[in-house]
């Protein structure tokens, strides 16, 4: 077969990249070699359009034990000799085509990133974006994705403890499915994704290889179109029970002294794991592809290299200890085959039935080695001029208390705000009995780290409308909200993993969003001392009219050294005093109220001040440790009124609020989403002490009212009972789904 530029372009390589490959090899590559470069130089594997900016993020410091990018996931110090391992990644493109398997294998892949380092996963989270819920395709995607996440996580045996879901028109064609996993381990037992030691055997373990997922990495590096269903073989197929066995086998093997290095086979499959492990160790490998266990006959060399079949690992083993590996994997009834060995020449030699199929320098394939790195041009998006022109005075304010209540009823039923009960009941949140948040809700999910004497607070956060309105400030807000959720749960934020979801990087306006978002994220992470441990970049998230909202999802982990400091969000007793910490603002920018109720597409990002936010969070953390308050819940989507209602739902406690809105628009006071605010409750006898501390710290505050037994009263107007509001909140999404005639199809 003659290899030409056209061949390269059909494999989603550019003409310039084809020329570069020829220069690096000193010859024209054969088809198998070109396929290897296609997978490894895809955006998904090489980060060729993003790595320059990712390097500007804070990547060490704090409790960091492994710098970002060094291993499969981040490792941070929990104290007492333990480490927490965590990471978030996208599976957007597969989920757009085949939502069940796309989401399921996203969950499976992120779990492998955790246990390949020797950690046991203890919690899963997700961050999801879909189109309009009234659309039948959206409901099909939602049903499939949720079913896939629930199926894989429930069968695998790791609880899904938290996450977020948003519905916006721009995600209609290209939903976002970001999966996060968190695990714990003895820090000194970390397993590196490295191969070394000439002659050491290379083992393939886990599920047999098939043709599913071939080309998945390059598939994820292109736009989704109507013809993308033709790429269905690029969607992997998962088996959670097989992964559970793989987890236990790998962790059992980790207790022996046999492992030199281990890496999961994720994007780009065998070629990725062999290249990255070799390049990291400065070695090469000889691999006999005919020794790879397969579930389909007559697979070609390039198919074996690029298959992304799930539940597989590559392990570099100490020579002479092969029998230990074989015995453990035989015990767990898993395929296990010695497929090659480490060499000293830095070259990956792939053989098939004794014939050399490919010879490629490992270093030339990988990120940080020979993979290209680009500096893209960027220009300010034209739509930002429309946002700059937004004037709040052009929006009619709420005129009386009746309209205020009616608007609140609409707000509480917007799918972005309403209860996600229809989704969460499909997830097992209690397997492992470590999740403490199911019946005692807090702003972040709190999970016991058994055996460590500590607990973890975990969250995923990003309001993409804020980022759309102001990419730099919006990304800062995503970090700040994550930290705020951790702090309001009584924990100390320690680190971030990110999943950066953007449109086509070759569009200068999209790349502007990316650059500014990464810059803002870096500023905020430095302020909160939460270095970025790693993550994922997902470009090419498009719909027919353009890119999705820029969505830099933040996964954040916090430490609760003393579980007694754990704080929940819900009202505790009637008579407790309700206090707003942080300054009210006359601001409705980018709020759910403005967008969904008033129909305004272009508006400024809500008020945010990083220094004020940090000061407020430090104060809230201090009063939680002093056990001065009864509850804490931050203000986010829907504004103050939604926060108050959410605080009442868990124990069916209402509130009586008398608010002086002089100097504020009514809609801004109740529904504005200005950042840096937390609503707390305090016992009546402790109120003076709290106010004194707020005054001493020069923190703005407002005493709003008191907790009631059941009634909801706002400015002396009866709003009914909290149970009536809870019914609206809990059933809103279900009503939208159930009222539609078209069936929702579960895969």
CA geometry: angle at 477 spanning 471 and 479, to 5°? 110
CA 42, distance to chain mean position in Å, is: 21
Side by side, which strands form the sheet with 176-186? 64-66, 74-79, 82-90, 176-186, 120-130, 160-167
- Tell me the CA end-to-end span of the chain in Å, nearest whole number: 40
Considering Cα of 584, then 587, then 592, then 598, what sign does the dihedral take?
Answer: positive
Considering Cα of 467, then 471, then 473, then 475, what sign does the dihedral take?
Answer: positive
pLDDT single digits (tens) 627-668: 999 999 999 999 999 999 999 999 999 999 999 999 999 999
Segment 715-728 shows an average pLDDT of 97
Query: 492-501 and 532-538: which strand pairing?
Result: parallel
pLDDT single digits (tens) 549-576: 999 999 999 999 999 999 999 999 999 9
Query: What is the largest distance, in Å, between two alpha-carbon atoms of the chain?
Result: 85
Give the model's pLDDT for residue 216.
Answer: 45
State pTM to two decimals: 0.94
Segment 55-69 shows an average pLDDT of 88
Give the model's pLDDT for residue 213.
Answer: 61
Give the model's pLDDT for residue 607.
Answer: 98
231, pLDDT greater than 90:
no
Q: How far apart are CA 260 and CA 194, in angstroms?
A: 7
DSSP-based three-state secondary structure for 87 = strand
148 with 199: CB under 8 angstroms?
A: no
CA 217, distance to chain mean position in Å, is: 18
Listed range (100-109, 224-233, 276-285) with the worst mean pLDDT: 224-233
For residue 590, report the phi and psi dihedrals to the nearest 5 degrees.
Answer: 55, 20
Mean pLDDT for all residues in the chain: 93
744, pLDDT greater than 50:
no
Residue by residue, DSSP assigns 3-48 as --HHHHHHTT--HHHHHHHHHHHTS---HHHHHHHHHHTSHHHH-T
DSSP 8-state symbol, 294: B
Helix (H), strand (E) at residue 281:
helix 269-281
Choice among 91, 93, 151, 172 that is catalytic: 91
What string of H, E and C letters represents the secondary structure of 478-511? HHHHHHHHHHHCCCEEEEEEEEEECCCCCCHHHH
Q: How far apart are CA 562 and CA 717, in angstroms?
A: 42
Cβ atoms within 10 Å of 438's Cβ, excluding its own: 12
Taking each helix axis as running N to C, give the angle between helix 240-254 and helix 322-331, from 0 to 180 degrees, rounded to the nearest 10.
140
Cβ-proximal residues to 267 (8 Å cutoff; 6+ apart), any chain: 39, 42, 44, 45, 216, 217, 220, 308
Give the model's pLDDT for residue 740.
Answer: 63
Give the model's pLDDT for residue 221.
Answer: 44
pLDDT single digits (tens) 664-715: 999 999 999 999 999 999 999 999 999 999 999 999 999 999 999 999 999 9
Give the model's pLDDT for residue 719.
Answer: 98
Choice among 44, 151, 595, 633 that is catalytic: 44
Q: Report the candidate in 349, 600, 337, 582 with the shortest Cα–Cα distance to residue 468.
A: 600
More confident residue, 295 or 727: 727
Give the model's pLDDT for residue 746.
Answer: 43
234, pLDDT greater than 60:
no
219: confidence class by pLDDT, cuts 50, 70, 90: very low
DSSP-based three-state secondary structure for 629 = coil
1: confidence class by pLDDT, cuts 50, 70, 90: confident
What burial class does residue 318 get, using C-beta atoms within 10 Å of its C-beta: 0-12 exposed, 13-18 middle, 19+ buried? middle
Considering Cα of 379, then 381, then 382, then 384, what sign does the dihedral take?
Answer: negative
Q: Which residue has the tokens 């605080």?
A: 647
Q: What proportion of the chain, given as a percentage, has pLDDT over 70?
A: 95
274: confidence class by pLDDT, cuts 50, 70, 90: very high
435: confidence class by pLDDT, cuts 50, 70, 90: low
Give the model's pLDDT for residue 212.
Answer: 73
Helix and strand numbers (H, E) in the chain are 26, 27
Segment 236-253 shows an average pLDDT of 91
437 with 454: CB under 8 angstroms?
A: no
Residue by residue, DSSP assigns 412-441 as TTSTTTS--HHHHTTS---TTS-B--SSS-
Q: Report the candidate in 248, 268, 367 with the shortest Cα–Cα distance to residue 308.
A: 268
Q: Has 91 been annotated as catalytic?
A: yes
Q: How far apart are CA 528 and CA 608, in angstroms?
A: 15
592 with 638: CB under 8 angstroms?
A: yes
613: confidence class by pLDDT, cuts 50, 70, 90: very high
Cβ-proximal residues to 650 (8 Å cutoff; 6+ apart), any chain: 440, 441, 568, 569, 570, 571
CA distances from 65 to 86, 170, 482, 599 (A): 12, 39, 21, 47
Q: How far apart are CA 155 and CA 657, in angstroms?
A: 46
pLDDT single digits (tens) 476-528: 999 999 999 999 999 999 999 999 999 999 999 999 999 999 999 999 999 99
Give the model's pLDDT for residue 745.
Answer: 46
The domains located in the chain, with CATH, are 1-40+191-373 (3.90.650.10), 57-181+428-567 (3.30.1330.10), 411-416+569-741 (3.90.650.10)
Segment 612-616 shows an average pLDDT of 98
């Amino acid at each position: 077969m003659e290899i030409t530029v056209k061949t390269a372009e059909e494999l989603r390589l550019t003409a310039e990249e084809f020329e570069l490959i020829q220069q690096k090899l000193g010859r024209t590559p054969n088809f198998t070699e070109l396929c290897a470069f296609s997978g490894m130089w895809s955006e998904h594997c090489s980060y060729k359009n993003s790595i320059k900016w990712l390097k500007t993020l804070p990547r060490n410091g704090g409790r960091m034990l492994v710098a970002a990018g060094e291993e499969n996931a981040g490792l941070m110090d929990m104290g007492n000799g333990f480490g927490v391992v965590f990471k978030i990644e996208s599976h957007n493109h597969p989920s757009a085509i085949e939502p069940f398997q796309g989401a399921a294998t996203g969950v499976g892949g992120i779990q492998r990133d955790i246990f390949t380092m020797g950690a046991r996963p203890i919690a899963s989270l997700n961050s999801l974006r879909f189109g309009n819920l009234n659309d039948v395709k959206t409901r099909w995607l939602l049903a499939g994705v949720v079913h896939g996440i629930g199926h894989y996580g429930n069968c695998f045996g790791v609880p899904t403890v938290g996450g977020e879901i948003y519905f916006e028109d721009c995600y209609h064609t290209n939903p976002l499915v970001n999966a996060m996993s968190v695990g714990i381990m003895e820090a000194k037992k970390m397993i590196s994704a490295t191969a070394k030691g000439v002659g050491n055997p290379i083992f393939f373990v886990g599920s047999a290889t098939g043709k599913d997922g071939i080309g998945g990495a390059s598939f994820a590096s292109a736009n989704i179109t109507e013809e993308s269903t033709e790429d269905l073989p690029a969607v992997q197929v998962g088996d959670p029970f097989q992964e559970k066995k793989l987890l236990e086998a790998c962790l059992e093997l980790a207790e022996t002294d046999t492992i030199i290095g281990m890496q999961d086979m994720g994007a780009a499959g065998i070629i990725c794991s062999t290249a990255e492990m070799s390049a990291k160790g400065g070695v090469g490998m000889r691999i006999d592809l005919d020794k790879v266990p397969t579930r389909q006959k007559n697979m070609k060399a390039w198919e074996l290299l690029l298959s992304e079949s799930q539940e597989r690992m590559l392990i570099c083993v100490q020579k002479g200890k092969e029998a230990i590996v074989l015995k453990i994997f035989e015990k767990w009834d898993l395929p296990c085959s010695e497929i090659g060995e480490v060499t000293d020449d830095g070259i990956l030699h792939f053989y098939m039935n004794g014939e050399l199929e490919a010879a490629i320098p490992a270093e030339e394939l990988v990120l940080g080695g020979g993979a290209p790195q680009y500096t893209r041009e960027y220009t300010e998006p034209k739509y930002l001029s429309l946002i700059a022109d937004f004037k709040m005075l052009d929006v009619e304010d709420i005129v009386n208390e009746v309209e205020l209540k009616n608007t609140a009823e609409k707000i509480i039923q917007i799918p972005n705000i309403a209860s996600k009960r229809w989704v969460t009941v499909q997830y097992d949140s209690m397997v492992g009995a470590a999740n403490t948040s199911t019946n005692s809700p807090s702003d972040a999910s709190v999970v016991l780290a058994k055996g460590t004497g500590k607990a973890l607070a975990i969250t995923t956060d990003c309001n993409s409308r804020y980022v759309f309105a102001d990419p730099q400030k919006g990304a800062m807000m995503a970090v700040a909200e994550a930290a705020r959720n951790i702090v309001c749960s009584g924990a100390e934020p320690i680190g971030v993993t990110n999943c950066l979801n953007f449109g086509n990087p070759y569009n200068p306006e999209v790349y502007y969003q990316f650059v500014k978002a990464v810059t803002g994220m870096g500023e905020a992470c430095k302020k909160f001392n939460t270095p970025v441990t790693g993550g994922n970049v997902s470009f090419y998230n498009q719909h027919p009219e353009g890119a999705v909202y820029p969505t830099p999802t933040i996964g954040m982990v916090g430490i609760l050294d003393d579980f007694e400091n754990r704080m929940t969000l819900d009202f505790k007793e009637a008579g407790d005093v309700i206090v707003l910490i942080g300054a009210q603002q006359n601001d409705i920018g980018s709020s759910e109220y403005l967008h969904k109720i008033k129909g305004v597409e272009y508006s400024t990002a809500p008020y945010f001040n990083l220094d004020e936010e940090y000061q407020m969070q430090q104060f809230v953390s201090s009063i939680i440790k002093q056990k001065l308050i009864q509850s804490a819940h931050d203000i986010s989507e829907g504004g103050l009124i939604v926060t108050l209602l959410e605080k009442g739902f868990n124990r069916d406690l209402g509130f009586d609020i008398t608010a002086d809105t002089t100097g504020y628009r009514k809609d801004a006071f109740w529904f504005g989403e200005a950042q840096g605010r937390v609503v707390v409750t305090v016992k009546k006898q402790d109120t003076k002490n709290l106010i004194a501390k707020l005054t001493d710290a020069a923190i703005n505050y407002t005493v709003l009212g008191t907790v009631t037994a059941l009634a909801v009263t706002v400015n002396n107007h009866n709003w009914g009972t909290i149970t009536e509001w809870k019914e609206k909140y809990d059933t809103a999404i279900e009503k939208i789904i159930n009222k539609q005639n078209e069936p929702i199809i579960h895969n």
